[in-house]
Amino acid sequence: MRNALLCVALLVVLGCLLYVSVNPGDFGVSRGEHLAFGEPKYTDMDDYFIHNGQNQTGANNIVTSIVFDYRGYDTIGEASVLFTAVLGVGVALRELRKRRDKNDE
């Protein structure tokens, strides 16, 4: 019963995501414009980065200026993931060693 409910809920979420991906609606579209169903949304985000990134950050490498400046939260996440991975490795191997010492005694 619970599995069936879970399946239905996941299918509903999948349906919503698929609908939104093919029909983005009017979000981010300039006023007065309307997108037909299935038409990809036009954005000027990439043009903005290419034309203003060098002026605003001073970096020649647009990728670095996006990763470390415009989308810095992303990089915080990556750094935290690495930190957590190191923590996990340390905890796992330390635990292993302690258990073996106990078995030896």
Rama region for 54: left / alpha / beta (φ>0; ψ in -120 to 50; rest): alpha
Do the Cβ atoms of 58 and 70 come closer than 8 Å? no
Shortest gap between Cβ of 43 and other proteins (angstroms)?
20
Residue nearer to other proteins on the CB measure, 31 or 97: 97
Give the count of beta carbons closer than 10 Å to the beta carbon of residue 53. Answer: 20
Q: Is residue 78 at the binding interface for other proteins, with CB under 8 A as the rule?
A: yes
Give residues in contact with other proteins (CB under 8 A).
51-52, 54-61, 63-65, 67-69, 72-73, 75-76, 78-80, 82-83, 85-86, 89-90, 93, 96-97, 100
